[in-house]
Amino acid sequence: MKAHDGMYIGGAWRPAAGAGTIAVVNPANEQVIAHVPAGTAEDVDAAVRAARAAFPAWAATPPAERAARLAALRDVLAARQDEIAETITEELGAPEQFARQVQAGLPVLVTGSYAELVASYPFEEKLGNSTVLLEPVGVVGAITPWNYPLHQIVAKVAPALAAGCTVVLKPAEDTPLTAQLFAEAVDEAGLPAGVFNLVTGLGPVAGQALAEHEGVDLVSFTGSTAVGRRIGAIAGAAVKRVALELGGKSANVILPSADLAKAVEVGLANALSNSGQRCSALTRVLVHRDQYDEAVAHAARAVAKYTPGGRIGPLVNAKQLERVRGYIAKGVEEGARIVVGGAEAPLDQGYYVSPTIFADVTPEMTIAQEEIFGPVVVFLRYEDEDDALRIANATVYGLAGAVWAGDEAEAVAFARRMEAGQVDINGGRFNPLAPFGGYKQSGVGRELGPHGLAEFLQTKALQF
């Protein structure tokens, strides 16, 4: 696609307030592929004003009509799926098949789910002598990350629009071209001017301006816990609603009765998907001490099919590459053993890291506690089920997890004791209607399905 040199505000592409630009780099070959405008507080203000002006009419639009607009958006995203996938491959480095099926395909599914949901959602209910109304919260400031550039946009914008809110989006600076494609799709789908607005820019400038803007009623942010903490503080000072989807250090717990080989292989596929750049990645594998050596050996064999430049794409940028290499070095320094992989560059160009498996990892090690956001998986031993639960819950995060057991009831009983917002049982499939979000420092609020829609609604009671 050809990059736009302006912002999408009030239903049209208009020039940016300043002259600054952001270079978009293909992480597979380190070449600059485009430049987009670096938005300022002035751009954000114009976008918020457009969203404010569009809010009353959009909030008053019947849910069936909002559903029709979302269905039209879904259809445009589906029709442009190949172009979207190619763009995501260029600016994120996602392998082509993964880009098409997941990066471009999943948002079509999610947008469609909200088109269906809003048509039948109970925006009113009777409680005793009261009628309770669920009304749109207002203008939403959405700040999205680069790892799933379209899915993360849709997971915020689709429910916000379904609820009757208007939106200003500030996408990640690494993947702004996908956001521009989404703005084109919104325009093509015929959404009213100002209902959706796009400002590209840097987090500390445009993101900060959006989070602080007095015309924004709710800030929905996905990204690091450190930045989420700052946005939460800004919003708290203004008594403003927030939805924060933050980091994770998810445990893949393999109980002794499980199919060990399957649990290891499916867990690895999860952890290495998107080059490990997933907040919900199952990066800690917990195995009983009697099965530990067998599990590690199986993982070493299974990881061979994940070749850099093939099934494993690059990391998003040079900074991320150095971060992941730093964690690998830290693991070695603290006494963990590299089974396969390591920090050495596997290819001559591109921000690639070989899939890396660590054994002899103990729960207090840095690589067992902190989110690495790369293709690095750590294997931990446990003594018994209570020990496994203690290790699984012993991080500041609580986003996701998985449990494997020969008996489903055994796995469910363990999962009920885990401090995590979403747990897969014996390889349970992704459900676009299930609430996604975390316990503890993994965030505030939920995305997807009816729980995701509820984030963008506020409650009014009428007494009779």
Q: Distance (Å, rounded) from C-alpha 108 to C-alpha 151?
A: 9
Q: Distance (Å, rounded) from C-alpha 281 to C-alpha 428?
A: 14
Residues contacting residue 390 through CB under 8 Å, at least 6 positions apart:
none
The tokens describing 433, both together, are 């209607």
Q: Report yes or no: 218 and 242 within 8 Å, Cβ to Cβ.
A: yes
Of 184, 212, 245, 447, the catalytic one is 245
Q: Report yes or no: 351 and 30 within 8 Å, Cβ to Cβ.
A: yes
What dihedral do alpha carbons 434, 435, 438, 439 form, nearest 10°? -100
CA distances from 89 to 94, 137, 144, 205, 307 (A): 5, 35, 18, 27, 17
Q: Is 141 left (phi over 0), alpha (psi -120 to 50) or beta?
A: beta
CA distances from 314 to 98, 204, 273, 331 (A): 13, 25, 12, 21
The secondary structure of 258-284 as a DSSP string is S-HHHHHHHHHHHHHGGGG--TT---E
Helix then strand count (H, E) for the chain reads: 16, 22
Q: Where are the alpha helices (DSSP H) in 165-317?
A: 176-188, 208-212, 225-237, 260-272, 292-302
Distance of CA 55 to the CA centre of its chain: 26
165 is catalytic: no
245 is catalytic: yes
Strand partners, 26: 31
Q: Distance (Å, rounded) from C-alpha 403 to C-alpha 417?
A: 11
- Bridge-based pairing of strands 397-398 and 439-440 is antiparallel
Strand partners, 141: 168, 219
The secondary structure of 30-96 as a DSSP string is TEEEEEEE---HHHHHHHHHHHHHHHHHHHTS-HHHHHHHHHHHHHHHHHTHHHHHHHHHHHH---H
Q: What are phi and psi of 166, to 5 degrees?
A: -110, 160
Of 91, 279, 371, 410, the catalytic one is 279
The catalytic residue positions are: 245, 279
